[in-house]
Structure 1
Amino acid sequence: MTINPGDTIPEATFRVKTQDGPKPITTAEVFDGKKVVLFGVPGAFTPTCTMNHLPGFLELNDEIRAKGVDTIAVVAVNDPFVMGAWQNATEAGDKILFLADGSADFVRAAGLDVDLSGAGLGVRSRRFSMIVDNGVVKSINIEEAPGQAEVSTARAILAQL
């Protein structure tokens, strides 16, 4: 079942790339006591994710944070090394927290997984964005197709804040 507004974020452990190597970070560490914008993508370095979806969150970062957002994070079913390389390649710096959900534990628990095996990608995250306040989903936007970024954009999130 897909997570909905009013639901609590499921417990999971992501990995983030640090200078000392991959580090676990729990959903509690990411969401508890914070207002978070989380967006999910089918994969780091994929065309729509890199050229259309992520750039908006970089461009509107200051405006989103001005609405009281503590953290902007992206999650993908990739390993922390790929997510770290994507963070570097996009020059995101510390503007966005890059969360690796390598085994799709979080996206499965949230009902946001999609089987893209037909395209050779395996289980991935659906493309989505959400606003989470202290671990509770306030709004969620899920794309119908993995190759489109329309309802889950930074501009759409900004309008909801």
Structure 2
Amino acid sequence: MSIQIGDTLPDVVVQRVGAEIEPVQSRAVLGGARAVLFAVPGAFTPTCSEKHLPGFVEHFGSYRDKGIDVACLSVNDPFVMQAWAQDQNVPEGLSMLADGNADLTRALGLELDATGYGMGMRAKRFALYAEDGVVKQLFVEAPGEFRVSSAEHVLAEID
């Protein structure tokens, strides 16, 4: 069963990437007062690289102005996520989380079986907004769509 509004975010180890790669507990990144977690099916994939991550990079300042932490999750290894963050000019403070074994993705119940496309298990495209580690809003895309998890849509939905 997937995570629902009102549920507490799971606490598992993921790899946060930046200049360095470090293991962190997911709640250490997402358990603050206000946080948005968005997930993409894969780094360097078309929609993820052309729209999803760039939207959050573009609007990162608006999230910060509202006191909201932002994190991007993908079922990729940390080296791929590190290269993708550099390629996309991800600003310092926007957490890039590598979920290589899909531990957090599975704990959220938002996994996508992409084995038919040669990509293995991945995260569904989604975004969630949490306060103090509790999910307040959840935006899960229908297969093949990109609307409700966009940076613009999520920002407009947050009080």
TM-score range, shorter chain: over 0.9
Q: What's the offset of the Cα at 1:32?
A: 2.5
What is the DSSP-based 3-state SS (H/G/I as helix, E as strand, rest coil) of the residue aligned with 1:155?
A: helix
Aligned to 2:11: 11
Secondary structure of 2:127's counterpart equals strand
Report the AA paired with residue 27 of structure 2: A
Q: Who is 2:52 aligned against?
A: 53
Q: Match for residue 101 of structure 1?
A: 99
| SS of residue matched to 2:51 | helix
Distance of 1:116 and 1:62 partners within structure 2: 33
Instruction: Specify which of 142, 145, 149 is matched with residue 144 of structure 1.
Output: 142
Question: Is 1:155 the equivalent of 2:145?
Answer: no
Instruction: After superposition, give the CA deviation of every residue in 1:82-123 in whole Å (9 maximum; x if it has no partner).
Output: 000000000113142100000000010111001000000000
C-alpha contact 1:41 1:128 (8 A) present in aligned 2: yes
Superposition TM-score, scaled by structure 1 size: 0.93
Counterpart residue type for residue 157 of structure 2: Q
**Structure 2: runs of 5+ lacking an equivalent:** none
- Cα separation, partners in 2 of 1:148 and 1:101, compared to 1, 3 Å: same
Normalising by structure 2, we get a TM-score of 0.94
- Alignment: residue pair count: 158
Distance 2:107 2:81 in 1: 20
> For 1:148 and 1:88, how far apart are their aligned partners in 2?
26
Report the AA paired with residue 111 of structure 1. Answer: G
Asked whether 1:27 is paired with 2:18, we answer: no
Given the superposition, is the C-alpha separation of residues 93 and 60 from structure 1 closer, same or farther in structure 2, using an over 3 Å criterion? closer
The residue matched to 1:132 in structure 2 has which SS? strand
> How many angstroms apart in 1 are the aligned matches of 2:32 and 2:51?
30
